Amino acid sequence: MFLYVLLWAIFGFFSFGVVALRLLFLKWFASNRPRSKSDEAYQPKVSLIVPTYNESKIIRFKLRNISMIDYPPNLMQIIFVDGNSQDGTAKIIGDYNKQHPEINVQLLVENERRGKSSALNYALKHCDGEIVVISDADCLWKPSILREAIPYLSDPEVGAGSGPKVLLNPAQSWVTKTEELYLKTLNTARLGESKIGSTLFFEGGFSAYKRKALSSFDPYNTGSDDNGTVIQVLENDKRTLFIPEAEFYTIFPIGWKEKVSLKIRRASQLLRVLTKYVTLLSDGKLKGARKVVILNLFIHFFAPIFFVLFCVLSFVILLHFPLLSLTFLTLAIPKVRIRFFDAVVGFSILVLAMILNASNRRFTLWSQPESRALVNEELLAKHGLV
């Protein structure tokens, strides 16, 4: 039985322990390493792409939000690319453009829905900006976002940058509270990774790419247009940054069912992205991001397996040594309980995503979250977004 207890401790360390050490390690880098170079005078032309599909409930908010962006109009190209919406989204955009010609919105409509990456690549052919920025229709920006974020791309070594997600409803339910904690942890890790070299995690609410470093979105067909696009930037020996100033705001689901569905889809895509990194590492590529890639491979592939083994041994050991259950009294501490619960959910989702990927389950087309109905003018005005 001593061997079981020893293995239990080892499996616990290589799952929960390694995750905690990784966070402490990246948190130290995030706090103590100098920030990336930023030239405030750098003001290139920007092509903003907004992909849409059946966005009639929120697209007017997005249009109004874009009209508030504090960036020279002559240096902004705005492209909406619609995936053949069936709810009049394209008409709303067209009507708004006629009423507000000063915004100069270009509308592209696909003849059928093929997914976000396909829509982005279609729009990319029409971009003439030095910087290409992506923003989802349900993600809103503070007016100064381009003026504050774009200067980070002035560094010749930087090829792309992405910003943090801010929830508009962080205290609405236990689901949103745990997501808020997760995002804070994730953003600390992304900043730490950026200061080591590059971050692998990009968000669709704000992702900016140098046109020269971008041949297409998700060129390896990972199913993740955000993280999948980062691969080619790193292949070109360019850094990818987390930019704290590039905050974007969005609503998050308040129910577990919708959250788990969303998380599984993203985890499945992320694992396919990381699988591609394995190939690139074996080919001797990704020199600048190698440490970050290897660390994430362990966290997302091996740590979940150790988590499963830890759970199995926990059950066996507690049957023989019930007194060991006293160790779980630490969960009475709120911060410990929340972080432990978040880690368990995260590992469980990764394990399920591994199973789905092994069965060749793909998530090509995105389903619109029910939580979008929670977006309203009063909430957005409170945050200065409309």
DSSP at 366: P
Nearest residue to 146 via CA among 223, 89, 73: 73
CATH number at residue 168: 3.90.550.10
Query: What integer best gives the mean pLDDT of the chain?
Result: 90
Please give the backbone phi and psi of residue 162, each rounded to the nearest 5 degrees, phi first: -140, 160
Mutual angle of helices 2-12 and 303-320, in 10-degree steps: 150
SS3 92: helix
Domain hosting residue 256, numbered range: 1-386
Question: Would you state the pLDDT for residue 114?
Answer: 85
Question: Would you state the pLDDT for residue 27?
Answer: 93
Question: Would you state the pLDDT for residue 327?
Answer: 64
pLDDT tens-place string over residues 322-342: 766 666 666 666 666 777 787
Instruction: Divide the 386 residues of the chain into consecutive groups of 10 and give the mean pLDDT of each group.
Output: 82 92 93 84 97 93 96 96 93 93 90 90 96 96 96 95 96 90 93 94 96 93 92 93 96 89 91 94 88 94 95 83 65 69 88 89 60 83 93
Residue given tokens 């409930």 in the structure block = 57
Cα 26 to its chain centre, rounded Å, is 18
Question: Would you state the pLDDT for residue 344?
Answer: 87
Type and span of the H or E element at 292: helix 290-297
Whether residue 274 contacts residue 297, with contact meaning beta carbons closer than 8 Å, is answered with yes
Query: Which residues lie below 8 Å from residue 21, measured CB to CB, with a gap of 6+?
Result: none
Number of domain units in the chain:
1
SS3 252: coil
Question: Would you state the pLDDT for residue 324?
Answer: 64
Residue 166's DSSP bridge partners are 249
